[in-house]
């Protein structure tokens, strides 16, 4: 028998220690993290085996922010302090955000320039901070799963995120103390996940319908390289809009007037989402709405809803996505019949009508074999693994495109485009300008992003001055302006007077309102709190989970406890619920956890009986034959 070799703790036996790299899909509704293990990309789950982390952050009375499912459950009871869909605000102005028509129940400060600021009970927070909480939570999950800190991440962003939105995403990662290897476009990640980089040369369309956004991207695989031919879509269209239409329909059925209070709105939206998702699997189901808000307003309605009703409520929205597809194909100068594969991404592509309309439009069956929620994170993980150096050979080269044209302001408030949109990045272009006045010694350069002709219709990225030009007659100076866009889509601009070599240079940091100092402060604050954060967060999450279970159990008991349980069983459950409620107000997290488990166990039989009832209800309307078909 040979002796076992024992390594010093912390010392690796392997000659080349693998680095930990992760791919993060930072979504509007859900976020998730994946990593490559033994050559295969896997999505990481939390301790309750959930892979999708709701992109929701709650700012509680005390302690660190709560992220994910617990926060999502607080949206109804605490709408002002529970921030969802923050991605829609990243790098945008308050006017952009209100333009989106999104009915956010939050309170904004009255700051007009830069990114909106949210008023929570823990103070004013920016969307970048909210996003950093989500990233931190995913990093923590990775550490728990792999036992070590993450060395680097690839974060995905929608293809047409502009410079400000990309920069905001990077800043969020910085605040969460993460090293960003690269930002990549979500559709490109999806194509990587399907391994289409090893496939034949062809044109690929990526149809991504998520919770808050729709993206269509036309890629071409050419000599082992993905080239993005065109991108398009709608940054304010997604499954949330399906929910809204259905919630309005439900409100009308329940006889509510135009604007119910935020709690009722949230309740209806949550119900609508549930119903919509179930209708992806069953043809019809029975719905029972019952809710009373704190302000005393109540909803009550019971009835059947089937897929046809949902289809009617959403078909116009899906039609809109088809129009974006047509526009992008035109941009790319590609005929529908030349599209080889269509990849489906995003939870909303589970809606059967979406699948059939896409198949009809592209005249081909879309790829759906990889879970549409996970496909982007998986592609990002594969790319992260390459970028961190875990795979020495055959890198997949990524070419993304610039989503919007870049240019500078010229006389009369006009835009001179220097790099047109859809140019593959990284890219560098120069153009020569001259002075317009005799003896002019300085020049102001205004960098803008957008495709409109007038400066006022584009987004202003930065202004900078070139000074010290020797006095010359108008038109004699030779000023070369160079634009450079790196692989992340970040822009730098420089200007040089050719005859003297005087140079001025700027890395464009979009002016969305966060200064470097502000970011440093946030980073420091998050480090200060790091130690007590974990314990405080765990306690807060358990308290919230306890209260949720208390409320849910009481509601269930009130609904049909008497009819399904014996008097003894009923009383025992009541006692157990009361016990949990009392504990949830203490900070004894172990006791709360134990009692949570105990109550969950005690109510198993009751839950099973209730489940039977709801299954029976859901099956009404489907014949046994239909069910057998679906199970095949
Ligand atoms: P995002 O990238 O915007 O975060 P996701 O790709 O996670 O979005 O998609 C979330 C959307 O998908 C939500 O609107 C959700 O309701 C919807 N969704 C998830 N599962 C289903 C389903 N089974 N049927 C219909 N829609 C679904
Ligand atoms: Mg997504």
The domain 21-238+315-400 having CATH identifier 3.30.420.40: the answer here is yes
* Identified catalytic residue from 208, 341, 385, 497: 208
To which H or E segment does residue 344 belong? strand 339-345
pLDDT > 70: percent of the chain: 84
List the one residue out of 77, 155, 534, 621 whose CA is nearest residue 380: 155
Residue 230 CA to ligand 2 center (angstroms) comes to: 18
pLDDT of the residue at 4: 37
* Identified catalytic residue from 25, 133, 240, 341: 25
pLDDT tens, position by position, 125-177 = 999 999 999 999 999 999 988 888 999 999 999 877 877 888 899 999 999 99
- CA 570/CA 559 separation, integer angstroms: 12
pLDDT of the residue at 193: 93
pLDDT > 90: percent of the chain: 39
Identity of the highest mean pLDDT range in 278-287, 493-502, 591-600, 602-611: 278-287
CB contact at 8 A, 129 and 159: no
What CATH number has the domain spanning 239-314? 3.90.640.10
Give me the chain's average pLDDT, please: 83
Decide which of 3.40.50.2300, 3.30.750.24, 1.10.10.60, 1.20.1270.10 is the CATH code for 531-619.
Answer: 1.20.1270.10
- Residue nearest atom 7 of ligand 1, based on CA coordinates: 30
Contacts of 84 (CB under 8 A, 6+ apart): 29, 54, 55, 56, 72, 75
Per-residue pLDDT at 185 exceeds 70: yes
Per-residue pLDDT at 397 exceeds 60: no
Per-residue pLDDT at 620 exceeds 90: no
Q: Tell me the β-bridge partners of 415.
A: 409
List the one residue out of 132, 212, 219 whose CA is nearest residue 184: 219
Decide which of 2.60.34.10, 2.60.40.10, 3.90.1170.50, 2.40.100.10 is the CATH code for 402-528.
Answer: 2.60.34.10
Ligand 1 atom with the smallest distance to the CA of 208 is 6
Whether a cis peptide bond, with omega within 30° of 0, leads into 325 is no
25 flagged as catalytic: yes
Q: Which two tokens stand for residue 173?
A: 């990662």
Per-residue pLDDT at 396 exceeds 90: no
Model confidence band, residue 1 (pLDDT cutoffs 50, 70, 90): very low
pLDDT of the residue at 341: 95
pLDDT tens, position by position, 51-74 = 999 999 999 998 899 999 999 988
Which of helix, strand or coil describes residue 534?
Answer: helix
Segment 74-90 mean pLDDT: 88
pLDDT of the residue at 85: 87
Model confidence band, residue 527 (pLDDT cutoffs 50, 70, 90): low
Segment 364-386 mean pLDDT: 95
DSSP 8-state symbol, 48: T
Q: How many Cβ atoms from other residues are within 10 Å of residue 212's Cβ? A: 26
- CA 59/CA 80 separation, integer angstroms: 9
Q: Which two tokens stand for residue 141?
A: 């999950």
Per-residue pLDDT at 345 exceeds 90: yes
Give residue for tokens 């607080």: 74
385 flagged as catalytic: no
Q: Where are the domains of the chain?
A: 21-238+315-400, 239-314, 402-528, 531-619
208 flagged as catalytic: yes
Q: What share of the chain is helix, strand, coil (3-state, %, to 5)?
A: 40, 25, 35
Segment 504-509 mean pLDDT: 64
Handedness of CA 93, 459, 88, 104 (dihedral sign): positive
pLDDT of the residue at 70: 92
Residue 377 CA to ligand 1 center (angstroms) comes to: 15
pLDDT of the residue at 406: 87
Measure the CA dihedral 218/221/226/230, to 10°.
-20
* Identified catalytic residue from 87, 227, 374, 541: 87
- Say what the pTM is: 0.66
Higher pLDDT, 313 or 419: 313
Give residue for tokens 């039989």: 605
- CA 406/CA 459 separation, integer angstroms: 10
pLDDT of the residue at 275: 98
Per-residue pLDDT at 112 exceeds 80: no
CB contact at 8 A, 424 and 127: no
Give ∠ CA 438-444-446 in degrees, rounded to 5. Answer: 140
Per-residue pLDDT at 626 exceeds 60: no
Residue 456 CA to ligand 2 center (angstroms) comes to: 31
pLDDT of the residue at 507: 64
* Identified catalytic residue from 46, 117, 162, 186: 186
Q: Which two tokens stand for residue 447?
A: 């960098």
pLDDT of the residue at 302: 96
Segment 313-318 mean pLDDT: 97
Give residue for tokens 């989503």: 403
pLDDT tens, position by position, 414-471 = 788 888 876 777 788 888 887 777 788 888 888 888 777 777 777 777 787 878 788 8
End-to-end CA distance of the chain: 53
Per-residue pLDDT at 501 exceeds 50: yes
Higher pLDDT, 89 or 614: 89
Model confidence band, residue 618 (pLDDT cutoffs 50, 70, 90): low
Per-residue pLDDT at 256 exceeds 80: yes
CB contact at 8 A, 334 and 233: no
Lowest mean pLDDT among 206-215, 288-297, 338-347, 603-612: 603-612
- CA 446/CA 489 separation, integer angstroms: 19
Ligand sitting nearest the alpha carbon of 156? 2
Residue 488 CA to ligand 1 center (angstroms) comes to: 26
Across the chain, how many H-helices and E-strands are there? 16, 27
- CA 349/CA 373 separation, integer angstroms: 9
- CA 493/CA 464 separation, integer angstroms: 9
Ligand 1 atom with the smallest distance to the CA of 238 is 14
186 flagged as catalytic: yes
Helix axes 262-278, 239-253, angle to 10 degrees: 110
Lowest mean pLDDT among 372-381, 453-462, 501-510: 501-510
Lowest mean pLDDT among 289-298, 410-419, 530-539: 530-539
pLDDT of the residue at 223: 65
Contacts of 544 (CB under 8 A, 6+ apart): 58, 60, 66, 70, 73, 74
- CA 198/CA 192 separation, integer angstroms: 9
Segment 342-370 mean pLDDT: 96
Lowest mean pLDDT among 116-120, 128-132, 239-243: 116-120
- Residue nearest atom 18 of ligand 1, based on CA coordinates: 347
Give ∠ CA 362-367-373 in degrees, rounded to 5. Answer: 120
pLDDT of the residue at 116: 86
Q: Is 612 exposed, middle or buried (0-12, 13-18, 19+ CB in 10 A)?
A: exposed
CB contact at 8 A, 190 and 379: yes
- CA 227/CA 221 separation, integer angstroms: 6
Model confidence band, residue 531 (pLDDT cutoffs 50, 70, 90): low
Model confidence band, residue 229 (pLDDT cutoffs 50, 70, 90): confident
Lay out the sheet containing 424-425: strands in order across. 339-345, 202-209, 214-222, 225-234, 397-401, 424-425
Higher pLDDT, 449 or 516: 449
Instruction: Cite the beta strand spans of 436-540 per DSSP E.
Output: 442-449, 459-467, 479-485, 491-497, 503-507
CB contact at 8 A, 30 and 347: yes
List the one residue out of 325, 345, 332, 51 whose CA is nearest residue 193: 345
pLDDT of the residue at 169: 94
């Amino acid at each position: 028998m040979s002796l076992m070799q024992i390594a010093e703790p912390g010392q690796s036996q392997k000659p080349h220690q693998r680095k930990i790299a992760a791919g993060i899909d930072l979504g509007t509704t859900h976020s998730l993290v994946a990593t490559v293990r033994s050559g295969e990309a896997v999505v990481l789950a939390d301790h309750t085996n959930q892979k999708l982390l709701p992109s929701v952050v709650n700012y509680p009375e005390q302690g660190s922010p709560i992220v994910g499912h617990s926060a999502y459950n607080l949206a109804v009871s605490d709408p002002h302090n529970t921030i969802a869909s923050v991605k829609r605000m990243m790098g945008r102005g308050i006017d952009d955000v209100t333009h989106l028509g999104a009915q956010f129940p939050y309170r904004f400060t009255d700051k007009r320039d830069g990114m909106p600021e949210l008023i929570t009970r823990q103070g004013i927070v920016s969307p970048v901070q909210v996003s950093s909480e989500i990233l931190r939570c995913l990093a923590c999950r990775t550490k728990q799963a792999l036992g070590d800190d993450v060395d680097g991440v690839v974060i995905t962003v929608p293809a047409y995120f502009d410079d400000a939105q990309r920069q905001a995403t990077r800043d969020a990662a910085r605040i969460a103390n993460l090293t960003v290897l690269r930002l990549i476009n979500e559709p490109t990640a999806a194509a990587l996940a399907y391994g289409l980089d090893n496939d034949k040369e062809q044109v690929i369309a990526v149809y991504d319908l998520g919770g808050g956004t729709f993206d269509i991207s036309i890629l071409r695989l050419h000599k082992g390289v993905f080239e993005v031919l065109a991108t398009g879509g709608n940054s304010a269209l997604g499954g949330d809009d399906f929910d809204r239409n259905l919630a309005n329909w439900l409100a009308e059925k329940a006889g509510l007037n135009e604007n119910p209070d935020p709690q009722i709105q949230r309740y209806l939206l949550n119900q609508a989402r549930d119903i919509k998702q179930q209708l992806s699997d069953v043809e019809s189901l029975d719905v029972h709405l019952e809710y009373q808000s704190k302000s005393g307003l109540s909803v009550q309605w019971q009835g059947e809803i089937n897929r046809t009703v949902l289809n009617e409520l959403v078909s116009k929205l899906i039609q809109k996505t088809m129009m974006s597809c047509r526009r992008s194909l035109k941009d790319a100068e590609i005929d529908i019949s030349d599209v080889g594969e269509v990849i489906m991404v995003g939870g909303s592509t589970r809606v059967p009508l979406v699948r059939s309309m896409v198949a009809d439009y592209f005249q081909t069956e879309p790829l759906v074999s990889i879970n549409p929620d996970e496909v982007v994170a998986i592609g990002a993980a594969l790319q992260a693994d390459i970028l961190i150096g875990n795979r020495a050979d055959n890198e997949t080269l990524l070419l993304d495109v610039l989503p919007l044209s870049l240019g500078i302001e010229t006389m009369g408030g006009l835009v001179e485009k220097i790099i047109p949109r859809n140019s593959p990045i990284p890219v560098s272009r120069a153009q020569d300008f001259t002075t317009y006045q005799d003896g002019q010694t300085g020049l102001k350069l205004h960098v803008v992003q957008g495709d409109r002709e007038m400066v006022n219709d584009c987004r202003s990225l930065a202004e900078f001055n070139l000074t010290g030009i020797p006095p010359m007659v108008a038109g004699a100076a030779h000023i070369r302006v160079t634009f450079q866009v790196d692989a992340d889509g970040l822009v730098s601009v420089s200007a040089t007077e050719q005859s003297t070599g005087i140079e001025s240079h700027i890395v464009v940091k979009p002016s969305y309102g966060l200064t470097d100092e502000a970011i440093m402060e946030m980073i420091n604050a998050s480090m200060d709190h790091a130690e007590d954060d974990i314990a405080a967060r765990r306690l807060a999450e358990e308290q919230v989970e306890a209260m949720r279970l208390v409320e849910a159990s009481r509601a269930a008991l009130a609904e049909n406890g008497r009819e399904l349980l014996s008097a003894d069983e009923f009383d025992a459950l009541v006692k157990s619920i009361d016990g949990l409620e009392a504990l949830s107000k203490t900070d004894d997290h172990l006791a709360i956890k134990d009692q949570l488990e105990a109550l969950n166990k005690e109510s198993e039989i009751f839950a099973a009986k209730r489940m039977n009832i709801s299954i029976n209800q859901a099956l009404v309307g489907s014949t046994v034959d239909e069910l057998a078909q679906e199970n095949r």
